[in-house]
Each structure stands twice: as structure tokens, then as C-alpha cells.
Amino acid sequence: MGRNPDLYDPVDNYSLAQEYRFYNPHLQGVTSNEWIVYGILMPMFGTLSVLLNILIFIVLANRNRRQGQNSLFIFLQCLSGYDILVSTLSLFIFSVPTLCKYFEWNLGYLNEVHPLLMPFLMPFLHMAITGSDYLNLAAAVERFIALDRNFRRTKTPHYGCLTRRTLFYCVVILLCTILFNVPLIFEREVILNANGTLEVIATSLRFNDIYIKMYRLMAEFLIFKVTTWISFMILFLSLRDRINFYFKSKVRKTLTVEHYLELMNSRIILGINSLFYITNALPLVISLCHMFLVHLSDDLSQIANLCLILNSTFKFFIYVGLSRDFRRSVAELCGKPTSHWTEDEAMSSAFLDHAKVVTFAQSRG
């Protein structure tokens, strides 16, 4: 049996009252900030995110088919799938109701269908966000393993893990994100209120003290947020130091061109880690405030939801800016001829042994 939102104490259950507004957009008006964030910015960036991540998926699939599968790019390809889900679900949860209310479009869907979907859409969004974060983390771990002390002496190209094991890790992450977020489905139920309108309310599970302390606080916050932030920081600093080490003048002469290209691809992880911190800072602050019963404006929560879309959108530009391999794959997909070895020689001769560069160019020429 659910509890009526009118019974929510404005102090002790502030987060629940805010969640109620998220789950019942058809019962709320559209504020000016909500229209700007959910009605203009989120549809714009959300649509762009879906299109760019579809392009990422196709480019990496084409690259893996032509040049052989790479454990890093397998993780990034799966990551693009999660980002598509994050953007698509965010559009359905936040933007579609806002547009329907503002323009008075399809009110039948808004009042009769959308409330029935919300108890499932929100958990699915949490699944996609959790999976995206942990695939980011898995890709960082893969690079950490690949750039070890044997980087210059072992297999070429040097992957952090084998292809089959990479796919296995992706499946494990998928299953873990699904299983962890299943309880969220049972936090909400749909009722017919006194006005004859469908309404999404919290179930008794959402008020259970043990559930809140064990799942909401310990598992969700500590394991899936704090642990992720700390792990990203450790891996970011470690990868940065390792990349800088191999770029030192005495060490770089011992690298092959393949090593150079792989080091350049590894910079992608530094980029998406930095993007993660920038776009997830506000959502983390809001989670902390809810946990310590600190009241925040709904406007900040709306901006935090937009930040999740921005995280998925700008990854494409990080790939293009930091990975020449990805840029070349995009050009090949668009039918633009690329000169692999001439460009490699020009970019690598500045710091690699000249004989190795010439040998590489001849072998690829």
C-alpha cells in the first residue's frame, strides 16, 4: 500500500516529495526553468547525444571489423549503447511530459499512459546510468593493465584483456546493473486518486528504515557513487603518470609506432574521466544533500538531470579530439581516403626511433 504525498513531512521527507514531482509531471505545472531545461536544452542535447552515440557505435564496430577487435574499443562500443539508453530514457521521462504539458499535445498519453510507465522508466534509467559508469571504470582498468611495465616487450598491439574476456566483463556489468536496480521497481505503484487521475506514489518499501539504510545509503551511495569517484581518481592519476613516463625522451625511443598509437588512444580514458567529474559533480552534491536532509531548489535537480545528458553527448568530441585512430575510422566510414602510414610517419618521427618508423611505414605501405 502506497502513502499519499500529502503526508510527506517537508523536512524529514523532502527528497520523497521531490521524487513525487518527478514521478507525476502530469499533476504539476511547467515552470520557466523546467521549460528551458526539459523543454529546450534536454531535447536538443538528448537528440544530439543519441545520434552521436549511434555514430560512435557504428564507427567502432567498423573499426573492429577492419582492423581486428580491440579490448578498449569493445568497452567503448558497449558504453555508447548505454549512453544511447541514458539519453533516450531521459527524453521520455523529463522532456516528453514537459512538451506535452507546455503545448497541450497528446494529453491522453500524458495522463493515462505515462504514469503507468514511470515506475519502470526510472529504474531503467538508473540501470543505464550505473552501467555507463561501470563501463567507464572497466575501460580505465583495461588501460591500467595494458600500460604496465611490460608494455614495450609483450604482444603488439598490447591489450588489457582478451576479446572473449572483455565481452564477458561487459555481460557481467550488464547483469549486475540490472540486478542491483531491480528493487527500484517496487518502490512505486500507480493508483487512481480521488479526482479519478492516475498517480504514482511511494510504496511501503520506500519508507522501510532497513531498506533505506542498507540499500539506499550503503549500497547505492557508498558502493555505486563514492567507490566509483575514488576509483576514477586513482586510475586517472595512475594512467596519466604512465602515459607521461612512456613519453619521456629516454623511453620514447624504445617504442614502436603501434605503441605510440595505443598510447594516444589511452588518452581517451583521461578525457572521459575528466568529463565524468565535471558532469557528475552536481548530481553527487544533490545526493549528499538528500542524504543529510539539506533542501535544494528543484532547478538544481533539473540541471543535474541535464548534466547526465551532457556526459553522454560530449564523449564523441573527446574521442575525436584525443584519438587519431577514431578520427581516421570516422573518415573511412564517410568514404574519405586516409593515408595511414604517411601520417603516422609524420606524427611519430618527432620522438620515435627513425628506423622503426620507416620499417612500420614500409610494412603498411
pLDDT (0 to 100) of residue 149: 65
pLDDT (0 to 100) of residue 56: 95
Query: Which residue numbers in the chain have pLDDT < 50?
Result: 1-12, 155-156, 341-346, 349-350
Rounded distance, CA 220 to CA 23, Å? 20
- What is the DSSP secondary structure assignment for residue 271, as one 8-state letter? H
pLDDT (0 to 100) of residue 78: 94
Summarize pLDDT for 204-255 with one digit per residue, the tens: 888 888 887 778 777 777 777 788 889 999 999 999 988 888 777 566 667 7
Domains annotated on the chain, with CATH: 5-334 (1.20.1070.10)
* Mean pLDDT, all residues of the chain: 82
- The 10 Å Cβ neighbour count of residue 304 is 20
- The 10 Å Cβ neighbour count of residue 12 is 9
In the block, cell 603518470 appears at 241
pLDDT (0 to 100) of residue 8: 42
pLDDT (0 to 100) of residue 6: 41
pLDDT (0 to 100) of residue 265: 82
Specify whether the CB–CB gap between 22 and 10 falls below 8 A.
Answer: no
Distance of CA 277 to the CA centre of its chain: 11
pLDDT (0 to 100) of residue 224: 72
Rounded distance, CA 60 to CA 340, Å? 17
**CA distances to 39, 174, 202 from 21, in Å:** 16, 29, 12
Summarize pLDDT for 99-127 with one digit per residue, the tens: 999 998 888 899 999 999 999 999 999 99
Consecutive H or E run containing 199: strand 198-202
pLDDT (0 to 100) of residue 209: 83
Rounded distance, CA 17 to CA 6, Å? 9
Pull the grid cell for residue 164: 572473449
Contacts of 133 (CB under 8 A, 6+ apart): 224, 228, 276
Q: Which pTM does this prediction carry? A: 0.85
